[in-house]
Amino acid sequence: MAKGFTSKIVHFQFKQDNQNNHASYGSIHTPIYNSVPYGYQKVEDIIDVFQGKSKGHAYARQSTPTTDSLQNLLAMLDDSIGSLTFATGMAAISATFLSLLKQGDHIICSQYLFGNSYSFFTTLENFGINVSFVDTSRVDAVKTATTKQTKIVFVETLANPGTQIPDLENIGQFCQENGLLYIVDNTMTSSYLFSAKSVNAHLIITSLSKYTSGHGNVLGGAVSDTGLFNWETYPHIFENYRTGNSQSWGLQQIKKKSLRDMGGTLSSDSAYQIALASETMALRMDRQCDSANKLAAFLDSHPKIKKVYHPSLKTHEQHEFAKKHFKHFGAILSFDLEDDVDVIKVLNKLDIAINATHLGDNRTLILPMAQTIFYEMGPENRKKMNIGDKMIRCTIGIEDTQDLIDDFTQALKD
Ligand SMILES: *Cc1c(COP(=O)(O)O)cnc(C)c1O
């Protein structure tokens, strides 16, 4: 049995689909099933599907054989008991929180969040859910913010654009000891660089639009349940979903209340593309992260650059943690230009790097932060989040490393 990350991926669908004489004709990929309804010869069979007694499909908003296959693949990569896919990463995040929370609940989030996640949590506040945004680089901040109403702690493994890393291990332990649901957004590190389960994460969220797919051609999101949370202790599981093995209650509720009722469904076409691209995730990330290390070192010693944010640098606050827990240091790096350097001029001089807002693409993409993603929140919030006017975010692609260094060299010349 193959054990390596990539070996497991490239053999997964063939093995899964061709065992038990499944009628897949030896196909090495799970086909794109585009049927919306699923019909049965005998009415008893569709009744069993509706009642959860058999695993068949009923309607494509909830599942298709293609999305199921991707879900199983992702569950394997996350070392989880199950996974649900959604149309986008934001759909996965909103689905998870909306189906597990009630008015009056309190949640604790990292103050360094993907911009749209931050915006979503401020929307939750309109529904009577209290949110504390804290500096999660120290577990004490989480402990201090915890109240009797706290249900969930949410962090990202590697924040963008500042590359902050939370106190992942200690927060995991604190959540486990206090019955809090620990949700980790593993998008920036992916299951290849980091096992969120190893720090006791209960739910793992991944935007599949990023490293999992990599080619900038498809959107998707997923939530995996590591099986480490005791759902019997969670007060908001509806009576209907308190059936069967209690380990499955959480995903069961997220599936019914969000995928079915809110409908942020991943299409079979997209599921196929994502599964296909995941085959090269490790190869791509090896190259991307290696280039990021080299570029970080290059930029760090450049006179026109004030500060570089990348966990490979010894000056990075969580360098030691990243070295111990992450396979690589990630392929996102940001930097502040010196005050007298014109950010627009530098960006326009770059030839290879594209001005675009995305992460984890095969192409190197760059963006000034204060003027774009963090524009809407205003200068005060930007200051709190440490987003300066001269900050540029790069997400390193798979181009040849020397080409990237040459491009930054010429763009930073007078
Ligand atoms: C991109 C991203 C998301 C949202 O994913 P989409 O697929 O673009 O909706 C969520 N979290 C993180 C950390 C991201 O980078």
pLDDT category at 243 given cuts 50, 70, 90 is confident
User: Is 209 a pocket residue for ligand 1 (Cβ < 6 Å)?
Assistant: yes
Q: CB 338: neighbour CB atoms within 10 A?
A: 12
Task: Tell me how far apart the 2 most distant CA atoms of the chain are, in Å.
Answer: 75
User: Is 156 a pocket residue for ligand 1 (Cβ < 6 Å)?
Assistant: yes
One domain, residues 305 and 203 = no
Mean local confidence (pLDDT), 389-398: 97
| Alpha carbon nearest to ligand 1 atom 4, residue | 89
Query: How far is the C-alpha of 177 from the C-alpha of 142, rounded, in Å?
Result: 13
Query: How far is the C-alpha of 9 from the C-alpha of 16, rounded, in Å?
Result: 11
Percent of the chain with pLDDT over 90: 90
The predicted structure's pLDDT at residue 405? 97
Residue 1: is its pLDDT beyond 70? Answer: no
One domain, residues 251 and 299 = no
User: Is 117 a pocket residue for ligand 1 (Cβ < 6 Å)?
Assistant: yes
Q: What is the pTM of this model?
A: 0.96
Task: Tell me which residue of 244, 250, 258, 254 sits closest to 230, measured CA to CA.
Answer: 250
- 89 CA to centre of ligand 1 in angstroms: 5
The predicted structure's pLDDT at residue 19? 78
Mean local confidence (pLDDT), 139-160: 97
User: 404 is in which domain, residue-wise?
Assistant: 281-411
What CATH number is given to the structural domain containing 266?
Answer: 3.40.640.10
Task: Tell me which residue of 340, 354, 353 sits closest to 305, measured CA to CA.
Answer: 340
CB 229 within 8 A of CB 375: no
One domain, residues 153 and 103 = yes
Mean local confidence (pLDDT), 343-358: 95
Residue 102: is its pLDDT beyond 90? Answer: yes
Distances (CA, A) of 282 to 36, 212, 277: 33, 9, 10
Average pLDDT, the chain: 95
- 354 CA to centre of ligand 1 in angstroms: 19
What CATH number is given to the structural domain containing 374?
Answer: 3.90.1150.10
Residue 110: is its pLDDT beyond 90? Answer: yes
Residue 244: is its pLDDT beyond 90? Answer: no
One domain, residues 185 and 38 = yes
| Alpha carbon nearest to ligand 1 atom 6, residue | 89
Is 81 strand, coil or helix?
Answer: coil
The predicted structure's pLDDT at residue 20? 66
Query: What phi and psi, each to the nearest 5 degrees, are found at residue 140?
Result: -60, -35
The predicted structure's pLDDT at residue 226? 98
Query: Which atom belonging to ligand 1 lies closest to the Cα atom of 159?
Result: 13
The predicted structure's pLDDT at residue 386? 86
CB 330 within 8 A of CB 311: yes
One domain, residues 193 and 315 = no
One domain, residues 294 and 374 = yes
Domain boundary (278, 306, 330) is at: 278
Domain boundary (229, 245, 278) is at: 278
The predicted structure's pLDDT at residue 135? 95
Residue 21: is its pLDDT beyond 70? Answer: no
Number of structural domains found in the chain: 2
Residue 23: is its pLDDT beyond 80? Answer: no
Percent of the chain with pLDDT over 70: 99
Summarised one tens digit per residue, pLDDT across range 31-40 is 999 999 999 9
Summarised one tens digit per residue, pLDDT across range 49-81 is 999 899 899 999 999 999 999 999 999 999 999
Summarised one tens digit per residue, pLDDT across range 277-302 is 999 999 999 999 999 999 999 999 99
One domain, residues 269 and 298 = no
The label of the residue with tokens 């120290």 reads: 138
Ligand 1 pocket test: pick from 86, 93, 113, 116 the residue with the most ligand atoms within 8 Å of its Cβ. 116
Mean local confidence (pLDDT), 146-160: 97
